[in-house]
Structure 1
Amino acid sequence: MPRQPRHPRRRSYDQYCASARALDAVGDRWTLLIVRELLAGPRRYTDLHADLPGVSTDMLAGRLKDMEGTGLVTRRRLPPPVSAYVYELTPRGRGLLPVLRALAEWGAQDLDAPRPTDAVRAHWFAIPLLRALEGVVTGVVQVTLDEGAFHVRIEGDGGVSYADGPAESPDAHLRTDTATCRALAGGELSLAEAVAAGRARLDQTVPTG
């Protein structure tokens, strides 16, 4: 008897509704968090697994396969001398950034101090911080926390993107901590207020917005 998949794809809601169609594609557990990781750039399977604590290997493989099937993700082999495959978002997958931004703004009110069981990655603050950085700086902003570094790119035309790790030639450098990031994300503090209070340091080589 052929082995049945442990995590079969959920059935469609079968509703002629744009929200239902969207949830058919991204409503499964872990899917949007995989998108969050891939918005930071192409990732190898092992890197995705490392930055998604709690997901099993077969669940992650199943979700990635589903996301390939729905046109959210593609897989490609890196050129020599690297012998590995990476997953990356398609244009349709990258179009989910505004969705994740809205979810982050909505969920920021529930982001209290980290619980003892909570994993923390520095780049998880990239999306919540976009609102605090827009209109203040443009170009590439490197953000350094105790947990690590990431960088965001803010274009003058409103385009935004982010990536894990330090930037090669940032236009600005923001140094702060997770508690301040949480306050910035929740709108409790503006970036100017955080700097004035000594909770953040912003070094710029570009004019303020």
Structure 2
Amino acid sequence: MPAQRGYRQACGIARGLDIVGERWSLLVVRELLLGPKRFTDLQQALPTASPNALSDRLRELTDAGVVHRRQLPPPGGARVYELTAWGHGLEPIVIALGTWALAAAPTAEQRFVSADSAMLTIRTYYTPAPGRPGAALRIELRDHGPAGVFGVRLTPAGAQITHEPPAEPDAVLVTTTDALLAAFGEDDLTGLTAAGAVITGDPQALRDLLAAVHVPAGQPADRPAGNP
């Protein structure tokens, strides 16, 4: 953040906000938590951010040492943005902020969910059941096109999410983001199939995943009655 727009305080919170407090900054960080992305990938994930605003945030985050820009080796050769080791330190902060905000009801215009945001929900709130066997799944969120393809590996320590799907998955789910979010916490696949999802492979592996994702919900206990 340019010095003239900073908070000019030595407090660590103010210093942190000087770095990531500008609009879109933390959402750029969110979108890079699962791996590097091209500028066009970030545009797709942040559709209401103007190209100029996104360019400004990436430049500021790069200058601050939060984000690094590099070129992929051939044959791809694309230029991508990725978090530095220091930038990855923001993950617990981003996740904690998101969990805190779940206590507030979304507004009517807050409907879009990026593919990575949906998959971070799995990584954050998946709690493996003792004695459950591990599994590898391929999840395709068709409303996000190629950006919606992920690999999910269930382990005793949690769910590992990558943009690289397994070569031989135990189960494959092709669905929409809304249908996936609605299925979290359920051990019945009826809702997914009713929403047009295509499931192949071992359905139990998918049930084990969905049933173990418990997203916090509810309103703040100290919110005055009658206030939205």
Q: Check whether TM > 0.5.
A: yes
Match of 1:105 among 99, 106, 116: 99
**Counterparts of 1:106 and 1:9, CA distance in 2:** 30
Partners of 1:40 and 1:161 within 8 A in 2: no
Query: How has the CA–CA distance of structure 1 residues 146 and 79 changed in structure 2, closer, same or farther, with 3 Å as cutoff?
Result: closer
Matches of 2:152 and 2:111 in 1, distance apart?
24
Q: Pick closer, same or farther for the CA change 1:140–1:23 going to 2, 3 Å.
A: farther
For residues 1-209 of structure 1, the aligned pairs below 5 Å read 11-110=5-104, 115=108, 118-136=111-129, 140-145=136-141, 147=143, 148-153=148-153, 156-157=156-157, 162-164=161-163, 166-170=165-169, 178=178, 181=181, 184=184, 190=185, 194-196=186-188, 198-199=190-191, 203-204=204-205
- Gap regions ≥5 residues in structure 1: 1-6, 185-189
1:195 counterpart SS class: coil
- What is the alpha-carbon distance in structure 1 between the residues aligned to residue 155 and residue 167 of structure 2? 17
Question: In 1, are the aligned partners of 2:135 and 2:205 still within 8 Å (CA)?
Answer: no
Q: Partners of 2:64 and 2:31 in 1: how far apart?
A: 18
Structure 1 residues 17, 9: closer, same or farther in 2, change over 3 A?
closer
Query: What is the TM-score when the length of structure 2 is the normalising length?
Result: 0.65
Aligned pair count reads 192
Cα deviations across residues 103-143 of structure 1 (Å, max 9, x unaligned)? 2222334465x946843433321222334423247565444
Distance 1:167 1:108, change over 3 A: farther
Residue 102 of structure 2 aligns to a residue whose secondary structure is helix
Cα distance in 1, alignment partners of residues 182 and 97 from structure 2: 14
> What's the % identity of the aligned pairs?
36
5+ residue gaps, structure 2, are: 193-198, 213-228
Q: Do the aligned partners of 1:104 and 1:127 also contact (CA within 8 Å) in 2?
A: no
Q: Deviations over 1:38-60 (max 9, x none)?
A: 11211111221222111111211
Contact 1:39-1:161 within 8 A present in 2 as well: no
Q: Distance in 1 between matches of 2:57 and 2:139?
A: 30
Runs of 4+ in 1 over 6 A off after TM superposition: none
TM-score under structure 1 normalisation?
0.70
| Preserved contact between residue 45 and residue 87 of structure 1 (Cα < 8 Å) | yes
